Amino acid sequence: MIDYFKYAVDAEGICTLTIDQPDSTTNVMDQNFIDSFRAALERAIADQAVTGIILTSAKASFVAGADLKSLEATLTTKQDAKTLFDQCWGFSSLLRWMETAGKPIVAALNGPALGGGFEIALACHQRIVADVRSMVVGLPEVGVGLLPGAGGTQRTLRLLGVAKTLPLLLQGSQLKAEAALQAGWIHAVVPAEQLLAEAKNWLLAAPEALQPWDRKGFRVPGGSSPQQPDLAQLFMGTAAALQASTFHNLPAPLAITSCLYEGMQLPIDKALRVECKYFVKLNLDPVAGNMVRTVFINKTQADKLVRRPAGIETRKHVKIGVLGAGLMGAGVAFGAAQSGIEVVLIDRDQAAADKGKAYSETRLRRDIERGRSTPEKMEAILARIHPTTDYAQLKDVSLVVEAVFEDRGVKAEVFAQAEAMMPADAVLASNTSALPITGLAQSTQRPQNMVGLHFFSPVERMPLVEVIRGKQTSDTALAHALDFVGQLRKTPILVNDSRGFFTSRFIGAFINEGVTMVKEGIEPALIENAAKMSGYPVGTLSVSDEVGLDLAYKGAVQAQADLGPEHKAGSSVEIITTLVVDHGRHGRKNGKGFYDYAADGSKRLWPGLSSIWPLLPKARQPDVGEVQKRLIYAQLVDAARCMAEGVLTDPADGDIGGCFGVGFPIYLGGPFAMMDTVGIAQVVAECDRLAQTWDKERFAVPQLLRDMAAQGKTFYGPNRILAPALQVAL
C-alpha cells in the first residue's frame, strides 16, 4: 500500500492526519487513498494518546476527486450491482464508523473540497475552512449523472433540511466559503494562517464526538415526513419541474430526489444504505458512464492540452493581436485581457475599434453591478485592450486572431497587412467557422504559422475552442495556439482541416434535417418540441434563426462558388433561400425568420410557413419518436463521416465538441459515446431504415461504421478502433 497520509501527534494529544499523495500535485480518491485513510483512522482511534483528530491536506486543494484512470477503467469494465454496492458501502460505512468512533474530528479545509472530498468533511464533527480565493465546497456529482455515494445526501439533509438540500444537490452547487457558512454546510471561516490553530483550539475545548443526527430526539430541520403539507408540495413541485426541464433524460436528479424522500424517513444508518442503492443504480445506467467520460475524463484531459504536440516548449502569450472588433473579435479581446494578456484590437477605423473595447467595458460594468468584480479590476482589464487602426502595433505580438467577415478576399487583405508587421514566428489564427484553413493559408507568406481557432459566441461564456490544423500547419504553431487556448482557460478540441471542420458541419446536420422537415409538411412545433424533448437546448428552427438565415444563405452561395457546379447543396438550402430572398426573413437579427419576434423578446412560429410549405394531414404526421431519431441520427452519421474522413482522429474531440460547442444532448455523452451505447450494428441498421424511409444520401453511413459493426469494434474501450490515418479533407 502507498501511504497517502502523514501521521503526527503533539504533546497535547492532537493527531494531525495530513493527506499528501506522493508524486502528485493533487490528492485523488483511488483504492490507495481509501486503504491509507482506513489505516490512518484506525491508528488514530486506537492510539490512547490521541484525544482529537485534525484532517487536512498538504496540497493546494483538500481532495480533488476521483482518480481519472480508475474511473476510466470502471467505464470499460462490466460491473455487477453487488460489487458496486459493496464498494460504495465500504467507503460510506468507513465514514460512518469515523463519526461514531468516539473521538472528535475536525476537517481543516485549506483548499477546495468537492464531491467525495467534501463528503469526508461532512462526516467530521466540525468543518473549518481557510479564507482563500480558491475555496469552494460542494457536491457536484449530478453534473456527471451521479449522486454523492458516501453520505453526502443524507448528512446534508440532516444539516440543512430538505428545502435547502434539494437545490444544492440538484444544481450541483459549489459554494464559496461565506456562502457555505451562511447555508450551514460549514462551521467557520478563518484566515489561512490560522486554520490549524483554530482546528486545534476547537479540539482542546473537549467537544463531544457526536453528530447532530446521533443525538437523542434529533429531527430533520423543517420536518422529516414527506406527507407534511409543505414538504409534500415541495416534492410534487420538484417532480414536475424535473419533468419539464429534463424530460426524464437525466436519471440523476430524480434519483437524488427519491434518495432524500426515502432517507428523511429513516435512521441515518438505513438511509446511508438507501443512498448506496441509488448510487449503484446510477452507475449501472449508461447515462452516468457517458457523462463521466465526456464531462469529466475527456474534458479534464482536453483542458490539460492532451492533444498538444510533444517536445515543444510552452509559450506564454504576453501580447496578442485581434483583427476585427465586431462581436467575435471583441469577445476574444475581452477573454484575453481577463487572462492578463495585452491585446492590440484592430479595425477599419478608430470608431469601430473603440466600439470593440466598449463591449468589454459593458460586460465588466455588469459584473460590478452584480458584485462579481470591482472598478479597480475593470480598469486593469480595460487597460490591456488597445483599440487602433495601426497594424504596426503588431510588431511584438506572439499570436494574431483574425475575426473579420467570412469573405476570402477580406481575410486575405487583413492577413497581408498583419504579416507585414508581426514577428516571423508569431501564429496567425483565423476564427472562421467554415472556410478551410489550408485554402486561407494560400494567401499568406508563412502558411506553416497558420491555424484555425474557431471560437463560439458569446466568447466569454462559451467554454469550447475548435483548433483546426491545416495541411501545412507546423507542430510549433499548433502547440503555441493550444497554449493560448489554455491561457484563456477554455477547452480545446483538435480537428483536421475540412469545410465546416467538425462543429459547424455537425450542427449543420441537425439544422439541415429539421429545416428539411418544414418543406416536407411536418408541423414546425413538432420539430421544435421533439428536439427539446431529446435534450437539445433549443429547437432546430430556433437555432437557425439565432445563427442567421442570411448567413446560412451566404455560406451556401460561397460553398457553391468554391466547389463548382458538381457541388450538391444541402436539402435545407432551398427553404432558407426562399425565406431570405423571397420574404426578407433573416432570423432573430431582423425579427423575422422561422419565428416572428416581438419587441418584448417573445416569439412565435411564423404562420406563413404553412402557406409556403403546406402541412401534411394530421394522420400522416410522424410521431415524435421518429422526428427525434431523424434529428439525432443525422448527426451520428455526420460524426461517423468526420471520423472516416480523418477530420476527427479521436472520438473524445467529437464528443466534447458536440456537447460543449453545439448543444448535443449531454446525457448521451456525445455522438461517439451514444453510438457505443446503442451498439454500432444497431446504429447502422437504424440509419439504413431511415435512409430507406426518408433520404438515402443524408443517412448513408460510411464504410467505417459497417466495418466496425462486422468486427465488433467500438469507439471507446478495449475493442476501440484505431484512428484513421491523418489526412486533410478539403
- How far apart are alpha carbons 317 and 666 in whole angstroms? 33
3-state SS record for 186-212: CCEEECHHHHHHHHHHHHHCCCCCCCH
User: Other C-beta atoms within 10 Å of 369: how many?
Assistant: 9
What lies within 8 Å, CB to CB, of 359 at 6+ separation is: 327, 330, 331, 334
Element (H, E) at 703: helix 703-711
Phi, psi of 480 (to 5 degrees): -70, -30
Catalytic residue among 125, 317, 386, 454: 454
Q: Are 347 and 413 in contact (CB under 8 A)?
A: no
**In angstroms, rounded to a whole number, what is the distance separating the alpha carbons of residues 400 and 449?**
10
Instruction: State the Cα–Cα distance between residues 159 and 186, nearest whole angstrom.
Output: 10
> What is the grid cell recorded at 513?
434535417
Catalytic residue at 317? no
- Catalogue the E-assigned strands of 352-433: 385-388, 399-402, 427-430
656 and 491 in contact (C-beta within 8 Å)?
Answer: yes
Phi, psi of 621 (to 5 degrees): -70, 135
CA 292 to chain centre: 11
CA-CA distance, 477 to 429, in Å (whole number)?
9
Non-local (6+) Cβ contacts of 232 within 8 A are: 226
Q: Is residue 283 within 8 Å of residue 457, measured between CB atoms?
A: no
Q: Kindly report the backbone phi and psi dihedral angles of residue 581, in degrees, each rounded to the nearest multiple of 5, phi listed first.
A: -75, -45
Phi, psi of 169 (to 5 degrees): -80, -40
Whether a cis peptide bond, with omega within 30° of 0, leads into 387 is no
Active-site positions read 454
